[in-house]
Chain A
Amino acid sequence: MKRKGLTLQRKRSMWAYIFLSPWLLGVIAVFAFPMILSISFAFSNVTVDNGYSLSFVGFENFRTALFVDQNFLQHFAATMGDMLYNVPIILVYSFLVAVLLKENFKGVTVFKFIFFLPVILSSDLFTSLLNNFGSTSSSSLDAVMSGAGSTGMLESLNLSKYLTDLGLGKELVELLTGPVDKVYEIVTCSGIQIFIFLAGINSVPPTLYEAAHVEGANGWEKFWKITFPMVMPMILVNVVYSIVDTFMSKTNLVMEYVYELSFKNFNFGLSSAICWIYFVVIAVILAIVFGIISKRTFYYT
């Protein structure tokens, strides 16, 4: 028998790739090419003249990053610590807020807006506005500036200065202001997560709650047996997003160091090597987290 046209499987694949092709083109340009370029940077000594030239040095850059460079490992450990501490809190906080915002009480939009505000206010623009002053003013003014500037208010820097001036011990001041700093770190970092969760919670079919209600389930059971498992795919998204966000934010120590290395010292070789070490570690962490969560994820189909 002669087969007419494509098989169903082939047809499906063809359609899938038609849908995927615009994005794939983008990925090749935005992702694959930079990846290849940075690998070649990481394994060579990059000299910047008119353009750039590479000379192969093997693992020299990686060795420098891990054993010679004093800053990288230190910054890296600090960033990891931050991540381990912040991500769970961010997730719990944003999930709680999302569950509360799901209840359609009067004025819920106002609350949604308020929870989105820190996202707007913590953007690069506000940081750069502040930095403009930091570079032109003397260092003694800097401290006051960061108190007066729009990003400085997110930290208790001025508070801790004030307390130190009052004559409190340094440890005591840090103990008092530490949680305040963290509160704003968490609040500014969880804006997007709240709305991702909210989208997930909104997608739970109400029929499930109706059925559970008829069966006599109480709210606690409904939350853990319906809402939680149904939102699981979004929890996965948020875990990944939060981890990536903490690691990639331009304000974290490793990123600052990488920027300094590549755009101030033009040491592209070393900075690429650091990026690759960083990248591999994040990939491993994400793979573990992803593996653990996606095994427990329940898909309602």
Chain B
Amino acid sequence: MSVKQLAARFRLPRKEKKQRVHRRVDLIGTGSRRNRKAYGDVMMLVLIGIMAAFSFFPLLMAVNMSLKPIHELFYYPPKIFAENPTLDNFRMLFSLMQNTRVSFFRYAFNTLFISIGATLGHVFLASMAAYPLAKMKIPGIKTLNQMVMLSLMFVPAVTDVANYLTVSWLGWLDTYWACIVPAMGASLGLFIMRNYMTTIPDTLLEAATIDGCSNYGIYWKIIMPMARPAWLTVTILMFQQVWNMDNTNYVYSEALKTLPYALSQITSGALVRMGAAQAVGVLMMIVPAVVFLVNQTKIIDTMASSGIKE
């Protein structure tokens, strides 16, 4: 064994330099990254901090409102921070919850079931329809795309009456279906996903086709993973909408009604319930907030891992 070989044996394996992916959007544009880095980062944080302050203010107000004892709610002019924070409002709300006609958990279950069902159903159906609308060149696709646009701007005041007629004709009045199915047919999510999918490179789909991938395979194994940021965004959007939906238009039996209805019933009517109403606001925020946070951690840069090099 030569000296050289021996040396090679004891040398640590050369670490492969991690390829640094450069995807910073240089906003300030001073060219050299190192120079602008500190300055630019501070500027950016200040800017984003100011804008975030505006968005954060409502939460601050809502939480403080829920902690205020009842008389402080009527201060004029109103104050932002509670002077003597208490949990009385929450205590009152919980004691009110125990006196509902149907168990409180039933309302909570209904809301969760409807929200999750409608959201998943919508994302699945709409993404399935978005794929051909974005990527297939077949006769009639242009008309369909225009139809999606048209259905976006249809005034809800008109569809309310017709939807009621449809739901009752289908025999879905007073069932979960009455809330889940119409939400699934909403076209907003479809529109967002369809437009996102147009940015997926055609070469990828062609490569898959040549390798013998079926249409279903392309949808499930290429389109869906690539369009992940889009459908995750649609998920939070839909969930948020359905979560706050009052289903009393279609549902009459108490056991099938949702949380927004139950809570607004609890808190309506008397001025003394004002504090409880504030507590409801804070409590109802929690689930969409959690959904959002979980959702955001799942968003990754899909294009970074698409494997396309030109």
Q: Is the CB of B293 within 8 A of A196?
A: no
Contact flag A37-B165 (CB < 8 Å), given A124-B246, A199-B233: yes
The reply to whether A38 and B162 contact each other, CB–CB distance below 8 Å, is yes
Task: State whether B132 touches A16 (Cβ < 8 A).
Answer: yes
- Report B105 CB to chain A, min CB distance, Å: 19
Chain A neighbourhood of B299, CB < 8 A: 198-199, 202
**Is B280 interfacial (CB 8 A cutoff)?**
yes
| Majority SS at the chain A contact face | helix
Residue interface mask A131-172, B partner, CB < 8 A = 1: 011001100010010011110011000110110000000000
Distance between Cα atoms of A119 and B233 in the complex (Å): 13
**CB of A187 within 8 A of chain B?**
yes
B233 contacts A19, CB within 8 Å? no
> How many Å lie between the Cα of A221 and that of B29 in the bound state?
8
Q: Would you give the shortest CB distance from A230 to chain B, in whole angstroms?
A: 7
Measured in the bound complex, the distance between the Cα atoms of B29 and A223 in whole Å is 9
* Binary per-residue interface labels of chain A (93-123) against chain B in the complex, 1 for a CB within 8 Å, 0 otherwise: 1001101111101000101111111111101
Q: Give the residues from 55 to 88 in chain B that come closer than 8 angstroms, CB to CB, to chain A.
A: 55-59, 61-62, 65, 73-74, 76-78
**Bound form: Cα–Cα A27–B150 in Å:** 11
| Whole-angstrom distance between the Cβ of B100 and the nearest chain A Cβ | 16
What CA separation (Å) do A26 and B292 show in the bound complex? Answer: 27
Interface residues on B, range: 35 or more
Judge if A184 is at the interface, Cβ distance under 8 Å. Answer: yes
A150 and B306: CB pair below 8 A? no
Among A19, A37, A111, the residue within 8 A (CB) of B161 is A37
Instruction: Give the residues from 236 to 288 in chain A that come closer than 8 angstroms, CB to CB, to chain B.
Output: 236-237, 240-241, 244, 247-248, 250, 255, 258-259, 262, 268, 271-272, 275, 278-279, 282-283, 286
Please state if A233 and B196 are interface contacts (CB–CB under 8 Å).
yes
A99 contact from B23, B27, B215, B297, Cβ within 8 A: B27
Q: Which of B156, B157, B309 has the most CB of A within 10 A?
A: B157
- State the CA gap A248–B201 with chains docked (Å): 34
> Please, how many angstroms separate the alpha-carbon atoms of A283 and B152 in the complex?
10
B-chain residues with CB within 8 Å of residue A81 when the two chains form the complex = none
B77–A109 touching, CB < 8 Å: no
Q: Which residue of B lies closest to A127 (CB)?
A: B244
* Contacting pair A153 B58 (CB below 8 A): yes
Q: Which of A55-63, A64-72, A83-91, A207-215 contacts B (4 or more CB under 8 A)?
A: A207-215
Q: B24 touches which one: A103, A128, A136, A159 (CB < 8 A)? A: A103
Nearest-neighbour CB distance to chain A for B129, whole angstroms, equals 4
Does B153 touch A at the CB level, under 8 Å? yes
Contact B304 A205 (CB under 8 A): yes
B277 and A112 contacting across the interface, CB-CB below 8 Å: no
Could you mark each residue 134-161 of chain B with 1 if its beta carbon is under 8 Å from any beta carbon of chain A, else 0? 0010110100100101111111111101
Q: Which of A31, A103, A241 has a CB less than 8 Å from the CB of B188?
A: A241
Nearest residue (CB) in A for B135 is: A16
B22 touches A30 (CB 8 A): no
Q: Complex: how many Å from CA A97 to CA B47?
A: 9
CB within 8 Å for A19 and B132 given contacts A115-B55, A117-B58: yes
- Tell whether A203 is near chain B: CB-to-CB under 8 Å: yes
* C-alpha spacing A236/B300, complex, angstroms: 23
Residues of B within 8 A of A22 (CB): 125, 128-129
- Taking a contact as CB atoms under 8 Å apart, the answer to whether B126 and A198 are in contact is no
Instruction: Give chain B residues whose Cβ lies under 8 Å from the Cβ of A118.
Output: 55, 58
Closest chain-A Cβ to B150's Cβ sits at a distance in Å of: 7
0/1 string, B174-209, CB within 8 A of A gives 1: 000000011011111011100110110111000000
Residue from A37, A105, A125 having most chain B Cβ neighbours under 10 A: A125
Chain B residue with the shortest CB-CB distance to A16:
B132
With A33-B162, A301-B203 known, 16 other A-B pairs at CB within 8 A are: A27-B187, A31-B187, A34-B163, A37-B161, A41-B158, A101-B48, A113-B293, A118-B58, A123-B244, A150-B65, A162-B77, A203-B301, A219-B36, A262-B161, A286-B153, A301-B202
Interchain Cβ contacts under 8 Å between A and B, 24 examples = A9-B138, A12-B138, A13-B138, A22-B129, A23-B129, A29-B185, A31-B151, A100-B44, A114-B52, A125-B264, A132-B277, A148-B65, A150-B65, A150-B278, A196-B233, A199-B232, A204-B303, A219-B36, A223-B26, A240-B191, A247-B153, A248-B156, A259-B157, A286-B153
The 9 nearest A-B residue pairs measured at CB: A219-B26, A26-B185, A220-B29, A34-B162, A132-B268, A23-B129, A199-B229, A16-B132, A219-B29
Please give the residue numbers on chain A whose beta carbons come within 8 Å of chain B beta carbons, in ascending order: 9, 12-13, 15-17, 19-20, 22-24, 26-27, 29-31, 33-35, 37-38, 41, 93, 96-97, 99-103, 105, 109, 111-121, 123-126, 128-129, 132-133, 136-137, 141, 144, 147-150, 153-154, 158-159, 161-162, 183-184, 187-188, 191-192, 195-196, 198-207, 209-210, 213, 218-223, 227, 230, 233-234, 236-237, 240-241, 244, 247-248, 250, 255, 258-259, 262, 268, 271-272, 275, 278-279, 282-283, 286, 290, 299-301
